[in-house]
Amino acid sequence: MMKFLLKVFSYFLGASFHILLSLLCRVIFHLLLYIEKNLLPTKQGPPYESLGLILSHLPDCIDRCHFRAVCKSWLLAEKEHPLPYQQLPWLITSTENSRPFKVPCFSFTSKKIYWLNFPVEPYGERHHGTSSDGWVLMERADPLATFLFNVFSSLKIPVPNLFEIVGGDSTLQLAFERLHNLIGWQSGTHFIHKMRVRSSPTSYDCLIATLGFFGTLSLCKPMTKSWTIKKDSDTTSLEDFIFYGKMIFGIDQEEQIVAFEVGENLELEGLPHVTDVFKYSTVRNVHIDEHTLGRPSIYLAEHCGKLLMVLRYGEFDDRIKKGIYFRTTQFKVFELDQTKSPFEWVHVNSLGKFAMFLGSQGIHFIPTSIMGCLEDDCIYFSVHFDRKYRLKYADRGVYSMRDGSIKQLDNIGAYLSSASRNWLPNYPDVWLFPPKYKS
């Protein structure tokens, strides 16, 4: 009887949850506790022992996310039964076959698509993810609220409304408001191209930075009332940016580096703002024939303390009949040598025993030595949107730095093709990296 209930329970936990299913799981949970307390009087151990048996059959982090839908006791039991191994990333995707308050998410561990619950309707609204820890920036239109949502813990941390700007250009805020009224956009996230978060949003030194459509660099801290904004010649041509040390480093269309020093403005209740700007000229150490390859999309990353520039090249994708889109043909990776004047981008031939996960919302590296199913010296890439939030690259795949070959991501391409014949993403993919569990 006990084994049968455990098998049924584990099966339900691996499926997509609805309200009725959550209620059913509550009933089974309390039934297990009743059996343990009353029908098995000689059994030693706390009530959580039954939950431990269930958890042992759920080695995937995405399955365990469903525990919080049942009761807090499950979360306590989960802390006592950590995942048995490091988890592979997830990929939040988009399809035309949307479901209310559901987002399709591809798990590399199970190689399956799961529909996860989100606190607001994701379609028609933009959401932006960080490069780690599973935080996503979201907005609710009615009543208007902006917050960071953690996909793994369901924790929500309020941040200022993206229309609330202080210390910036008043004409820019007026432009926001006019577009909001004219086009009817209900969400300030429509004005965001990229987002980065320094430190965990639950920590005191957390800082949120966004790169906007109008060449804006906006800063805020969780739980504060407004954003500070910078818009001038230093920010209007930025293609990407990252937190690097205590500063923000950006890269422009000409591959030049712009560094922003950030401090607190005491006149604005200690809100973060840009206090100084440093510009660094750069050159490449190799020539690339971009008359043939075309102009690349530019990404900035940090790896082992070094600044990297990643260039993504593509060609017109004639498989897509609606619109003009590109498919990826190759990548070029460069490391910044700061000992030379001007700084030099040095071509990198190999990533070594690392896999790079690349997307519009950032780049993350995972050592393949702890993830045997990942390929060495490869770039796992997703769709790409340009600075005006227009889809440019509509493909996903794995690029080999060794031989330049590209193959499709396992299962996800076939799923999306079957979900919609003329499928096109309506917002950027977001790589999510589960928190590290003890082995």
* pLDDT tens track for 321-375: 566 778 899 999 999 999 999 999 999 999 999 999 998 878 999 888 877 678 8
Over range 71-83, report the average pLDDT: 60
> Given pLDDT bands bounded at 50, 70 and 90, which one contains residue 266?
low
Over range 8-35, report the average pLDDT: 53
Burial of 132 (0-12, 13-18, 19+ CB in 10 A): middle
Over range 92-105, report the average pLDDT: 66
Helix (H) or strand (E) holding 192: strand 192-198
**CA-to-CA distance for 83 and 65, rounded, in angstroms?**
12
Q: What pLDDT is attached to residue 128? A: 64
Q: What pLDDT is attached to residue 74? A: 59
Length of the chain, please? 439
Report the 3 state secondary structure along 195-223: EEEECCCCCCCCEEEEEECCCCEEEECCC
Burial of 252 (0-12, 13-18, 19+ CB in 10 A): buried
**CA-to-CA distance for 96 and 113, rounded, in angstroms?**
15
What mean pLDDT value characterizes the chain? 74
**CA-to-CA distance for 126 and 437, rounded, in angstroms?**
30
**CA-to-CA distance for 341 and 325, rounded, in angstroms?**
38
**CA-to-CA distance for 324 and 92, rounded, in angstroms?**
24
Q: What pLDDT is attached to residue 418? A: 45
Instruction: Read off the DSSP letter of residue 353.
Output: S
Calculate the CA 337 to chain-centre distance: 28
Over range 128-134, report the average pLDDT: 63
Q: What pLDDT is attached to residue 421? A: 42
**CA-to-CA distance for 54 and 366, rounded, in angstroms?**
29
List strand residue ranges (DSSP E) for 304-434, in order.
Answer: 306-316, 326-337, 343-348, 354-359, 362-367, 378-381, 384-385, 391-393, 397-400, 406-407, 430-432
Q: Which of 166, 155, 240, 161 is nearest to 201 (CA)?
A: 155
In this model, does residue 242 exceed pLDDT 50?
Answer: yes
> Given pLDDT bands bounded at 50, 70 and 90, which one contains residue 38?
low
In this model, does residue 42 exceed pLDDT 50?
Answer: no
Q: Which of 395, 399, 388 is nearest to 425 (CA)?
A: 395
**CA-to-CA distance for 229 and 224, rounded, in angstroms?**
14
Asked whether 75 and 61 are in contact (CB, 8 A), the reply is no
Q: Which of 339, 354, 345 is nearest to 310 (CA)?
A: 345
Q: pLDDT digit string (tens) for 176-190?
A: 555 555 444 444 455
Asked whether 271 and 160 are in contact (CB, 8 A), the reply is no
Q: How many CA atoms lie within 13 A of 419 on its CB side?
A: 18
Over range 86-91, report the average pLDDT: 76
Q: Which residues have CB under 8 Å from 8's CB, separation 6+?
A: 28
Tokens coding 437 = 């569990």
> Given pLDDT bands bounded at 50, 70 and 90, which one contains residue 425?
low
Q: Which residues pair with 171 in a beta bridge?
A: none
> Given pLDDT bands bounded at 50, 70 and 90, which one contains residue 138?
confident
Over range 308-328, report the average pLDDT: 81
Helix extents (H) in 195-343 = 290-293
**CA-to-CA distance for 291 and 340, rounded, in angstroms?**
28
Q: Which of 169, 275, 178, 157 is nearest to 232 (CA)?
A: 169
Q: What pLDDT is attached to residue 31? A: 65
Tokens coding 328 = 């990826």
Over range 144-164, report the average pLDDT: 79
Q: What pLDDT is attached to residue 308? A: 97
Over range 60-71, report the average pLDDT: 56
Over range 77-98, report the average pLDDT: 65
Asked whether 283 and 344 are in contact (CB, 8 A), the reply is yes
> Given pLDDT bands bounded at 50, 70 and 90, which one contains residue 63?
low
Dihedral angle sign, alpha carbons of residues 227, 190, 365, 119:
positive
C-alpha angle 427-226-276 in degrees, rounded to nearest 5: 90
Tokens coding 11 = 């099966």
Q: Which of 433, 435, 326 is nearest to 380 (CA)?
A: 433
In this model, does residue 15 exceed pLDDT 50?
Answer: no
Asked whether 192 and 126 are in contact (CB, 8 A), the reply is yes
Instruction: Read off the DSSP letter of residue 435.
Output: P
Tokens coding 393 = 């690259």
Q: What pLDDT is attached to residue 224? A: 82
In this model, does residue 99 exceed pLDDT 70?
Answer: no
In this model, does residue 20 exceed pLDDT 60?
Answer: no
Q: Which amino acid is at 407?
A: K
